[in-house]
Amino acid sequence: MSTGRAEPVGVTAGRLVLATRNAGKVAELRRILADASVPVEIVGLEEFPEIGDVAETGLTFAENALLKAHAVARESGLPAIADDSGLCVDALNGMPGIFSARWSGGHGDDEANLRLLLAQVSGVPPEHRGAHFACAAVLALPSGKEWVAEGVLHGMIIDTPRGVNGFGYDPIFVPEGEGRTTAELSAEEKNAISHRGRAFRALVPVIAEVLG
């Protein structure tokens, strides 16, 4: 994680926008900050309907998160956090990676993405089915100052989807040390070990310094 001295000048104390319209992500970051006793108000992009989608043209998770965080910080005038994440499969040379949400061609078609990935690893023996979820999270200030944190959850890909919780590739991913897929974990269990939760928690000391 890159660090630097916090510059509170021009920063709205105690208020932060998370660059998402996903209420679940907003709730997750609120819980993480509450658990760390950091008194910061978190709002999502539903508070800023005038801010449009930011094109994710980066080649890494960090590049995409930086693009979103800086755009939202500029347009909202508030410190902003953005994240980008995906599944990286060893047998596919780290893919789908940043293309995880649109691996089958259409953005956000979870079922089609999952089916395609299973077809691509069909026949790969268990010992070569290693994979990890990766996330980059960025805190950006309207001044342009930025901090980057990353979180990783290692595991393996299985043949048959299991579980109804979560989304995306969760039904075929078994974390290290678990017998269940991430789709079989409760929301609390998943958040405790998730790649995004780890990246968000790594930013907590910076958020506390800048805004707490």
The answer to whether 90 is a known catalytic residue is no
CA angle centred on 65, ends 137 and 108, rounded to 5° = 105
Tokens of 110: 């979870």
User: What whole-number distance in Å separates Cα of residue 8 and Cα of residue 100?
Assistant: 36
**29: number of Cβ within 10 Å:** 25
Which DSSP category does 144 fall into?
A: S
* Active-site residue, selected from the candidate residues 35, 53, 83, 84: 84
Q: How far is CA 108 from CA 78, 80, 99, 114, 123, in A?
A: 28, 24, 10, 11, 26
148/81 Cα distance (integer angstroms) = 10
Active site residues: 84
